[in-house]
Chains A and B, each alone.
Chain A
Amino acid sequence: MNDETLLNERIEVITVFGEGLNPCRPIRFRRPNGREIEVTEIGLRHPTVQGKRTIHIFDVTNGGADYRLEFDSERLTWHLTREADHYE
């Protein structure tokens, strides 16, 4: 099946702003429990809108699980909203 956990954790994120396909690249984040996760690949970045607020969704992985990070471009906050380590 699919071991998917929906979350709403405020997280701290180290981000690189540069060029290329993903000009904004989260490279490492820390969860409220203190666990730090290194992003090894950004699968897809897409924007969604909540009214007139733009939220950027980053689907990323550390090689062991897939994570969904949400960056609120108005409030400048990051949230971890899903963890999925499918699959066995």
Chain B
Amino acid sequence: MNSDYNTERPLVMHIDLNSCFATVEQQARPLLRGRPIAIVNRRTENTAIITASYEAKKYGVKVGMRFKEAKLLVPDIIVIETDPAKYRFVYHKMMDMMKTYSSHVTMKSIDEGVIDFKHATEQVRSRDLRDIGMEIKQRMRDEIGVAMRCNVGISTNRFLAKTAAGLHKPDGLDIITHENLRATLATMKLTDLTGIAKQNEHRLNAVGIDTPLQFLDTSVEILHKMVFKSICGDEWYQRLRGYEVDDRVFDLKTVGRQYVLESPHLSSEKIQQRLHHLSESVGAKLRSQNKVARGVLVYAKTYERKYWHARRMCEMPFFSNQAIYAQASQLFAAAPAHIREIGVSCYELGDDIDPQLNLFGDRIASEKKLVQAMDELNGRYGDRTIHVADTLGTGAYVKQKIPFGSTRYL
């Protein structure tokens, strides 16, 4: 048995809002409290549930389940459409609160974040982190609302702190140290570990690793050479022992948006309009990050569960909605029939270009001025104040939704 665990004082705290969107809706609308509710992006029978309240989860309602399936389990379930502005507000309140303890706060997504107390002041570090965790829970109730609950996990690295935050939901507070690491992992399955889904589970099973404890006891050589066949094996070895390997920021690689068509009977012209709307949205996201792109990818998923995609790389970087749509539209001409979902993304991103350094500088500079003027108008008077006439009727369908997985656009 290996025992080279990290024995340092646990100074990483993971905070996770419980069933975030459902909890925020229950906070905002008091009559929803104590009731089974499901949050969806669009109120249709086939829509997928993106969050369910604990009252609904109790009856087996899960994230990703179709709404009509959830209704069979809980006939009186209440369905609520997402309200991104509300969740964004709570996200910023939560982030501001966390930043009062340390300058090193990383928001992992719209509903979870990490405080690294290694960078906190001596005064804060001298406090018991359990007390700070309880204080944050109370501040959530005082500064946002009485229905707010969160899970707090404390450990020596981000991975174990997140694991600790998932141990007792809702409203738990747990600490994982080198002393209780084995006892904690003994209660878990491999897929309970963040980062171990079906594929990684198969990899581990293939070499006889069936439990987190066996995973912990496997040598770094086996993890590197036989299981992950890369540096990922070394990282898992460190991660499981409480050493930090996840304190890093990834560069933005792609910017994209997808949309599930509201009806199976849309004409190809209407589908193209929705593609145009997505291209405008992707262009705005790209420019908000001061990036330009060189590649465009479009995809479609059909009702027959087929996936189709096409991509193109350009020599010249681009940034305008018009340029993105021109390419997306051409690529999309080869898309199959019976489309259920479409998506557009830009890749091969680079930093904003200086038009003076380019042979076609004048053309780029004038396009840039026009795009900047349009962005400024939309910034001053509201999103989609000015847009192409082609997408005039699409706004009611292709609404702005919650950006999962990234906090760049919050």
Contact = CB atoms under 8 A, between A and B. Distances in A.
Given A43-B145, A44-B86, A86-B78, A51 B379 contact: yes
A50 B35 contact: no
B24 A87 contact: no
A37 to B, nearest CB: 14
B80 A2 contact: yes
A46 B85 CA distance: 8
A51 B89 contact: no
Q: Is chain B's interface secondary structure helix, strand, loop, or mixed overall? A: helix
A44 B78 contact: no
A61 B79 contact: no
Contacts of B24: 44
B27 interface: yes
Contact of A51 (B79, B143, B144, B382): B382
Contacts, number: 65
Contacts of B142: 21
Chain B residues touching A, range: 20 to 34
B31 interface: yes
Most buried by B among A2, A44, A49, A85: A44
Contacts of A47: 89
Contacts of A52: 379-381
A13 interface: no
A80 interface: no
* Chain A interface main SS type: strand
16 contacts: A2-B78, A41-B30, A44-B27, A44-B144, A44-B145, A46-B85, A46-B90, A50-B382, A51-B385, A52-B379, A53-B382, A57-B85, A66-B28, A66-B29, A87-B31, A87-B35
Interface of B: 24, 27-32, 35, 76, 78-80, 85-86, 89-90, 142-145, 378-382, 385
Interface of A: 1-2, 21, 41, 43-44, 46-53, 57, 59, 61, 65-66, 84-87
